[in-house]
Structure 1
Amino acid sequence: AASPGPPSAAVTAGRRPPVTPPPLSSGLGGAAGRLLPLHSRHAARPLRCWKSESTGAMFSRPPLPGEVRRAAATGRSRSRPRGAGGGTVLLPSMLMFGVILASSGLLLMIEKGILAEVKPLPLHPAAGELSRRGGGDEGAPGDLDYQVLQDIRNRTIRAVCGQRAMPRSVWELPAGQRRTVLRHLLVSDKYRFLYCYVPKVACSNWKRILKVLDGALESVDVKLKMDHKSDLVFLGDMKPDEISYRLKNYYKFIFVRNPVERLLSAYRNKFGEIKEYQQRYGVEIVRRYRKNGGNSVGDDVTFSEFLQYLLDEDVERMNEHWMPIYNLCQPCAVRYDFIGSYERLNADASYVLQRVQSPSFIHFPERQSWYKPMTAETLRYYLCNTQRRLIKELLPKYILDFSLFGYPLPNITSEYCRQ
């Protein structure tokens, strides 16, 4: 900082020299405490920063004429610096209060995700823009709380995937894992997007939309049994250079769901309604985990037996309907542009359809008449009638689905089950 001395030639000539702020003392007294109030005529001037000799902190504010006069002249200033009400300058205690208040506000903004260190997920459209597709029934996806949730999810994925052992691309994955994710990435070359389908997260309706976009179906409302293989383009069927190009240049999205609800949905659907699964998996599960279960046809598998089977099964050998979402879609190896949720299905789906610029007549299909929605009472019933040991031991296999996508661990406390 400049020492007090006679006015410079620039001052006497009527020109303003560069401002050199006074040094900050360790006690914030003296010159450090005599900060002038900011007047409107100084608001547009560029900020100048200086460093505290005691704390190393950086401060910035517009240069004030009083500081130049204090630094340039000891007793011949033309006017005395005055406060907003004509009084004296701010006291050191007021400065400290302002610094603390500003710091608290900054921490709150960071905690809320308002000041993001990484680029947040793209903003959703306003609620009114969803009406043409029938979306938005769960609330406007542009809600601040939802944006904060998306930002937290985005930060978590970047933090976890930034670890040294995590894959950076699909080519760093072991062959089996790479084959799985490429087999679940569906391609639309016309609309330039990739969709990683997750069974039990509305993937049948998304496949229906892809078929309409490709011209294989006339409407998403056609009541036909879904063929999950025909008229669909899988990224895994392409050459390596074609795969790399699409992963780099296409819009990529997935939809996720609470892991426990997804497992329960798979259990109720596959072992309660689908004979193929009863015969292929149910018979073996009963034989393995039930005494004298050799006569079962596989349609009476209990939820506890199903969870025990998952606990003993190798994750990479699991059926896709209960394989963890992380293993299906590899969110570290594939940088998804958007992660929608089953809990906000219509609103998030409407956003994606607008983002990929699909025709306005295409909307997300209504749920089938036979669909049985998952209720809180249903979830509570199954959780509270299952051995806690099974649930606790199974959680590590699905822990990345909980943590990456922001889902709470299941509540299996005695208090919860007594309600």
Structure 2
Amino acid sequence: MGFPGTWMTESESVVYRVVPKCACSTIGQIMYYSDHGAFFDGDIHDATDGLHKWAREESQGLINANVKTHNSYAFTCVRNPYTRILSSFFDKICGIQRNGRRYRGNLVPLLIQKYGIEVGGDDGKEEFDQIKSFRRFLLFARDTIRWRRPMDPDIHWSAMSGHVGTFVANGGRYDNIFWTEQFNDGMQKVLDAIETPHKVSLKKIPRFNESEGHGPKRLHNVEDYFDDMSMHLVYEIFKRDFELFKYDFNDPSNKMPIGEIDLDEVHAKLGD
């Protein structure tokens, strides 16, 4: 199995387990900058050099050896499940991707046909009932995760604990898991714990939100998208995420964590 979704600086100063929709573009650019003193020109997900990635065959041996011996500081970043699944909907389902096409080709036509969702027309700019369509998307997301129908779950809406857990189950150990909602505090702790070829000043780092502008603007407050049934579906999909990463299931309007992440608990529960 190895360590899918794992990135490492070329200097091996730090190891990061990517969790989609959790500031991964910004984190990747910080890692790249810390080695090279400049940002990658483009979306860091497209970088094929300058940063070790498990998806690059030539990086796998180095990442495997490092993680198995816990040679470098290892971390990841998580996000409130309510805002994460909403972001996935507006970016991946309603939005036009950076290649100028819909995400995953026939996915959106399938959702329109089978689940009756709307996405704002061909360009995502027409008005539509965002709340109704999002709730229907939630049904689809639940179906993919619970029954793998009509397709396997996508990395952007599958549970964070699944992403975080592969690193643990295959022999890795985290030194830090922090929240997107307190990004600067969490990322600073990582930077304070490692030595990098180039010093990083978080105050000067732009936010690389590569999904921003892909889809229509969210028109309502987060809590307006979640009625009792939607909350039930979210809990069914993300129960472990709420529990391990200490988010408030009972109040979709509260994006902030309500407790401290217990790394021992994470390793114990995700290590099997």
TM-score computed with the length of structure 1 as normaliser: 0.47
What is the match of residue 392 of structure 1? Answer: 232
Give the structure 2 partner of residue 285 of structure 1: 111
Q: Give distance in 2, aligned partners of 1:332 and 1:410.
A: 28
Which ranges in structure 2 are unaligned for 5 or more consecutive residues? Answer: 254-272
Q: Please tell me whether residue 265 in structure 1 is matched to residue 87 in structure 2.
A: yes
SS in 2 for 1:313: helix
Larger Rg: 1
CA distance in 2, matches of 1:371, 1:321: 15
SS at 1:277's partner residue? coil
For 1:405 and 1:412, how far apart are their aligned partners in 2? 15
Q: Provide the C-alpha distance between the structure 1 equivalents of 2:107 and 2:181, rounded to a whole number of angstroms.
A: 29
**1:244/1:223 CA distance change after superposition, 3 Å:** closer
Aligned residue type for 2:225: Y
Q: d(CA) in 2 for partners of 1:223 and 1:244?
A: 29
The aligned residue for residue 269 of structure 2 is none
Q: CA separation of 1:408/1:297 partners in 2, compared to 1, >3 Å: closer, same or farther?
A: same
1:185 maps onto 2:16 in alignment: no
Change (3 A) 1:355 1:388: same
Percent identity (aligned):
22
Contact kept in structure 1, 2:19 and 2:77, CA below 8 Å: yes
Q: C-alpha distance in 1, partners of 2:25/2:60?
A: 26
Q: Which of 129, 135, 142 lines up with 1:311 in the alignment?
A: 142
Cα deviation per residue 1:302-338 (whole Å; 9 max; x = unaligned)? 1012101111103673221112111112164232110
- Output aligned runs, 1:193-204, within 5 Å: 193-204=14-25
Name the aligned partner's letter for residue 348 of structure 1.
Answer: G
Are the counterparts in 1 of residues 52 and 63 from structure 2 also a CA contact under 8 Å?
no
Q: In structure 2, the residue corresponding to 1:201 is in which secondary structure?
A: coil
| Alpha-carbon distance, 1:246 to partner | 2.7
The amino acid that maps onto 2:164 is: C
Are 1:346 and 2:184 matched, yes or no?
A: yes
Alignment map for 1:5-404 (pairs within 5 Å)? 178=1, 182-215=3-36, 218-220=37-39, 224-231=42-49, 232-235=51-54, 237=57, 238=59, 243-248=64-69, 249-274=71-96, 275-277=101-103, 279-290=105-116, 297=122, 299=124, 302-314=133-145, 317-330=152-165, 332-333=168-169, 334-359=172-197, 361-364=199-202, 365-367=205-207, 371=212, 378-383=221-226, 387-404=227-244
If asked which structure has higher relative contact order (CA below 8 Å, sep 6+), I would say 2
For residues 258 and 349 of structure 1, what CA distance do their matches in structure 2 show? Answer: 17
- Contact 2:33–2:198 (8 Å) recurs in 1: no
Q: Is the 8 A contact 2:102 2:108 kept in 1?
A: no
Contact persistence 2:34–2:198 (CA under 8 A): no
The amino acid that maps onto 1:328 is H
* Structure 1 Cα separation of the partners of residues 139 and 5 of structure 2: 26
Q: Distance in 1 between matches of 2:225 and 2:4?
A: 32
CA distance in 1, matches of 2:123, 2:153: 18
Q: How many residues align?
A: 224
What's the offset of the Cα at 1:263? 0.7
Aligned-partner SS, 1:255: strand
Over 3 Å counting, the alpha-carbon distance change for 1:242 and 1:210 in structure 2 is closer
Distance (whole Å) between structure 2 residues aligned to residue 242 and residue 297 of structure 1: 41
Can you list the C-alpha shifts for 1:125-165, whole angstroms capped at 9, x where unaligned?
Answer: xxxxxxxxxxxxxxxxxxxxxxxxxxxxxxxxxxxxxxxxx
Cα deviation 1:356-375 (Å, max 9, x = unaligned): 12256423422259958x99
8 A Cα contact 2:19 2:78, kept in partner: yes
Distance 1:310 1:298 in 2: 23
Alignment-mate amino acid for residue 240 of structure 2: L
Partner-residue secondary structure (3-state), 2:76: strand
Q: Give distance in 2, aligned partners of 1:266 and 1:244.
A: 33
Task: Determine if contact 2:25/2:43 at 8 Å carries over to the other structure.
Answer: no
CA distance in 2 between partners of 1:412 and 1:203 (Å): 23
Question: Quick one: distance in 2 between partners of 1:190 and 1:359?
Answer: 8
Q: How many angstroms does 1:389 deviate by?
A: 2.0
Contact 1:282–1:298 (Cα < 8 Å) also in 2: no
Unaligned runs of 5+ in 1: 1-177, 414-419
CA distance in 2, matches of 1:204, 1:283: 28
Q: Report the secondary structure of 1:183's partner residue.
A: coil
